A and B are shown apart, each in its own frame.
Chain A
Amino acid sequence: MSAPIESFPNSRNIVREVLPNGVVVLVYENFTAQSVVLTGSVTVGSSLELAAQCGLAAMTADALTRGSASYDFAAISEALESVGADLDVNGSTFTSSFSGKALGEDLPLLLDILSDVLRHPTFPENEVERLRGEILTGLNYRQQDTRYRAARAFYETLYPEGLPYHLSARGTLETVARLSVDDLRAFHARCYGPREMILVITGAVKADEAIQAVRRRFQDWSNPDQPPRVRPQNPTPTQMTRRVQIAIPGKTQSDIMLGAVGPSRLDADYHAAQLANSVLGQFGMMGRIGGKVREELGLAYYAYSQIEGGVTALPWNVSAGVDPENVDLAIEKIADEIRRITRDLVSADELADNKSFFIGRLPLQMEANEGIASMIRNIETFDLGLDYLLGYRDIIGALTREDLLKAAQHYLNPESLVVAVAGPPDA
């Protein structure tokens, strides 16, 4: 007997309120734990910045918790850490997201700080300089990270110049070095606002009290200049396989990322593609790819596929870490599996197993507040409906072998993949 599906978050146990200024608040009570988790997003990302200012949105998000009108850097740190709480803000391509955790009794403090840093950041000169040094050191370090470099090369090749994912939202050594405090202030003033902001709270808190607490801190926020949400175009699929090789001296393993543009979370065949992906590189210790590359041939410690699935078409890709001598063989075997998933129907057993996997894993995914909050945030972000989970079994149950094949064929073509490899020279 699995968890009764009625016990999952749904329209009867999620309290949802839209404030007049556009902030959407969703609260789910869970008194089985002492903590409260807060997560959400504002519609501010690197898609709103100029290429010459690459990294501006991410640096702005990082700088929010470096000082605000009511809390300087030390006060934010002291207030949070003295009660064992945590709050982070991170910028990505289309949104900047925030997440926090505290004991239930400390939710008001968490909301106080969140509100102040989102609405009234001060971007102190010395703190921004310190932050810049941290980002630059991080970017420099990543230049030596084979997994990061393979992923970057993959994205740069898959998404042509001018499209949002071509550049890293973190920026480059050159652009981050040039960003000024004024740039950050102007970007915040122009882009941050309450419209379409999502705020999810789950945990040991009464829903009406949480909603009230959010209202008090966010309902008078406005920004008439807040830009409309960016609706990005999808890239044109590649016509032939393109391979990029990055040489990093002193490394002992090569990392591979290969794939194509996959579905967005909003595409009708998203679930079919996810199920096909599970067969390809997830189910039963990394699916068919793991079975071939790791278990049968012993080529890699990790080899799996994933669909990232955001508001726009993110990659459907395969990642593997292999001995430099085995790079070509691993790529060949992975491409064989992509060829197979796009040519043949999956077996009836594979379909049944993977459906069972998708439905059966829900109780574990939502055991703790983080998982529940993340699911509710996805439901709101992608407009899935509060009763999405109640119908989930039917959505997955209705998928056929043909649906999976069609989805795989739609997104993957084994003859036109982007392949990126980062490892030691002469690999």
Chain B
Amino acid sequence: MSNVFRHVLSNGLVVLLKPVRTAPIISWWVLYRIGSRNEPTGITGASHWVEHMLFKGTDQFPAGYLDKAIDRVGGSWNAQTFFDYTAYYETLPAAEIDLALRLEADRMINARFDVEEVESERTVIISERQGAENSPMFWLGEEVQASVFRVHGYHHEIIGDMTDLRTMTRDDLFGHYRQHYMPNNAIAVAVGDFDPDEMLERIRAIYEPIPAGAAPALFVRPEPVQQGERRVTVERHGTTSFIQLAYRVPAATDPDWFKLELLNSVLAGTDGFGGGGIDNRTTRLYKSLVETQLAVDVDGGMTPTIDPFMYTITVVLRDGVEHQTVQNALDEAINRVIAEGVTERELERAKKQARALFAYGTERVTMQAFWLAFAENFNSYSWFEDYVQSLETVTLDDVKEVAARYLRAQNRTVGWFVPTTDAAQADAEQDEEDFE
């Protein structure tokens, strides 16, 4: 019983409207179908950097103006870049939503990209990457992902490779922007306290004058079939050991995706939709790794993506425990689920958890609008609206079948983070090799 209204404007802009009258606020999202997966070598990180530049002003709304204008009315705004998209949002008191509609229309085509602003933002983004690099898991995650995807654009981190962040030019970024930011490459979503007819009329008035652009040619290279297990080791200064397993899994539109999500829920625990999560102490991997004092934490993650992606299991080892000991216990638990599947009780619990987490995740208009835009990008907003129903249809046989098909060693990359106290290693970590 969805009350989402879907429209396509004459310039190709997809508009989703969902009235929700629980609080006098509206969330407005504009999502562009461009993300880090579409970045060729040399401009990795361009989508994320362009996202930053869209906060640097237009002629109509100069840099800094909007930060203050949004705060002044008590709103929030932000943006996010993902593998598959770049999205911007404002959540504002309902009476102020016109500001959001106007600013997103304006920066869809009028962002300035001043050279000085590009240079100032270069160091900010390098700083953002350096902040991430301070975490050992960033290095392991980056290495594992690059091993899983040798060809596909998912192989690099969303923030981009440091070398590209140092060399990309204003024209690279502006070209990326002009190529992908247009109404016919965007999805706009409003959720909140409004009348859908009035809202549509206002959106038409503001967005339909923006002409459609030439549909961008997307850089996409399919990943070849994996030929066997891959292993990577990262050695850096530190104290804590980590293991990450990454299994190749299908895209979000594949029916197997939901089966794998329930399998993950039983194995390592599910994450929910941003409205609060639950512990994973009843999961199989918690019992076999944390309760046995081999590890202090385990986490699993299925990510809904346009192209086939990866299912990751990440383990934080307890101090003093060897990687191989944990790896053996992990493999044993995974082999067991491949051989035996899951129990009816486990499956029912996973479904009940999904129902609760879905309810929590839809309590805020901001999250509802996000998920509608997110799902529309790779399929249809109904992927999100029907999420719980899609899980309900999954059977015990389904879960057993996907465990056997996808959790094979030949289909995975094994990553170990090995901490070292070697001073020479630490020095080397601070230097980058120079290639002329």
Q: Which residues of A contact B (CB under 8 A)?
A: 1-3, 32-35, 73-74, 77-78, 80-86, 101-103, 129-130, 133-134, 136-138, 140-141, 143-147, 249-253, 255, 283-285, 291, 294-302, 321-323, 353, 356-357, 359-364, 366-370, 424
Contact = CB atoms under 8 A, between A and B. Distances in A.
Given A81-B281, A136-B319, A137-B318, A360 B74 contact: yes
A355 B360 CA distance: 32
B141 to A, nearest CB: 16
A82 B297 CA distance: 20
Given A78-B282, A284-B71, A323-B123, A83 B356 contact: yes
Interface residues of B, number: 75
A275 to B, nearest CB: 13
Interface in B264-310: 275-282, 290-291, 293, 296-297
23 contacts: A2-B24, A33-B363, A86-B277, A86-B278, A103-B359, A129-B293, A130-B291, A133-B296, A134-B318, A144-B237, A250-B238, A250-B429, A253-B133, A253-B134, A285-B55, A300-B124, A300-B127, A323-B130, A360-B74, A361-B76, A363-B24, A363-B74, A369-B363
A33 B359 CA distance: 8
B430 A424 contact: yes
Interface in B88-110: 91, 93-95
B23 A133 contact: no
Contacts of B352: 82-84
A362 B237 CA distance: 44
Contact of A364 (B25, B128, B427): B25
B382 to A, nearest CB: 21
Contacts of B75: 360-361, 364
A2 B363 contact: no
Contacts of B127: 253, 299-301, 321-323
B107 to A, nearest CB: 15
A133 B134 CA distance: 24
Contact of A250 (B237, B240, B364): B237
B22 interface: yes
A299 B91 CA distance: 29
Contacts of A284: 64, 67-68, 71
Contacts of B349: 81-82
B136 interface: yes
A141 B93 contact: no
Given A80-B278, A364-B25, A298 B123 contact: yes
A361 B91 CA distance: 10
Contacts of A369: 363
Nearest to B275: A368
Given A32-B22, A251-B134, A301-B131, A81 B353 contact: yes
A297 B239 contact: no
A295 B120 contact: yes
A141 B73 contact: no
A274 to B, nearest CB: 14
Contacts of A360: 72-75, 93
A382 B70 CA distance: 30
A133 B293 contact: yes
Given A285-B67, A424-B430, A357 B72 contact: yes
B232 to A, nearest CB: 18
B236 A250 contact: yes
Question: Which of B353, B363, B364, B365 is packed against the most chain A CB atoms within 10 Å?
Answer: B363
Given A77-B279, A323-B126, A363-B93, A144 B74 contact: no
B142 interface: no
A314 to B, nearest CB: 24
A370 B276 contact: yes
A34 B133 CA distance: 40
Contact of B23 (A294, A299, A323, A367): A367
A3 B72 contact: no
Given A33-B359, A143-B239, A323-B127, A296 B120 contact: yes
B130 A364 contact: no
B256 interface: no
Contacts of A367: 22-23, 25, 363-365
Nearest to A354: B71
Contacts of A253: 127, 130-131, 133-134
Contact of A356 (B74, B355, B429): B74
A356 B278 contact: no
B316 interface: yes
A310 to B, nearest CB: 24
A77 B121 CA distance: 46
A140 B239 contact: yes
B175 to A, nearest CB: 22
A101 B95 contact: no
Contacts of B112: none
Given A80-B278, A85-B278, A250-B429, 14 more contacts: A83-B356, A84-B356, A84-B357, A86-B278, A134-B297, A134-B318, A144-B238, A250-B430, A255-B134, A301-B125, A301-B127, A363-B74, A363-B93, A367-B365
Contacts of B425: 250
Nearest to A81: B282
A364 B429 contact: no
B119 interface: yes
B200 interface: no
Contacts of A86: 276-279
A73 B287 CA distance: 12
A103 B356 contact: yes
Contacts of A255: 134
Given A137-B240, A300-B124, A81 B278 contact: yes
B363 A364 contact: no
A79 B64 CA distance: 50
B122 interface: yes
B18 to A, nearest CB: 15
B356 A102 contact: yes
